[in-house]
Homo-oligomer: A and B are copies of this chain.
Amino acid sequence: MKGGLTMNKHEAITQGLRLIEKSNFCMLGTNGEDGFPNIKGMTNLKHEGIKKIWFSTNTSSKRVQQLRKDNRACVYYVDEKPFRGLMLVGTIKILQDIESKRMLWTEGAEKYYPLGVEDPDYSVLYFTAKRGNYYQALKNITFEIE
């Protein structure tokens, strides 16, 4: 935090939520097998507030392999103009129950999962945030998420 600029938690969460809602995609950070961080762009499909976020992915993907070994993750939303970013840190559960898969299914998803909603190569990633950081115009705040 520079120059005495401050922002409270409520404001950060309100602005962060707006950023989530206007984002078509976001970045998922995971721990690679060799100790290096990894990042992948993900389609922004569904969220509840800033605590719960769901993604769709291929069960066979490298990301799922990594998350089976280490479920610690972060999700990052960013806007170029004005430059602002929301980082959420938390853990991920890999879901393969049909209700979760139906909930997240979108038109055209056969492109990724040719066998449809029951495709075993289709999984849902369920992220739960425990901490957030919001950055905008040199203001920067880290906050716990209950």
- Within A79-103, the residues touching B (CB, 8 Å) are 80, 83, 85, 87, 89-90
Given contacts A2-B58, A36-B89, A38-B89, contact A27 B78 (CB under 8 A): yes
Q: Out of B41, B74, B111, which one reaches A38, CB within 8 Å?
A: B74
Given contacts A2-B58, A58-B2, contact A37 B27 (CB under 8 A): no
Any chain B CB within 8 A of the CB of A116?
A: no
**Across-interface contacts of A73 in B (CB, < 8 A):** 36-37
Grouping DSSP codes into helix (H, G, I), strand (E, B) and loop, the A interface class, with mixed when no group exceeds half, is strand
B80 touches A39 (CB 8 A): no
Name the residue on B nearest A72 (C-beta): B36
**Across-interface contacts of A39 in B (CB, < 8 A):** 27, 29, 39, 74, 76, 87
Interface flags for A120-146 (1: CB within 8 Å of B; 0: not) read 000000000000000100100000000
Q: A35-B72, A40-B85 given. 11 additional CB < 8 A pairs?
A: A27-B39, A29-B39, A30-B37, A31-B31, A31-B35, A36-B72, A36-B89, A37-B38, A38-B89, A39-B87, A41-B83
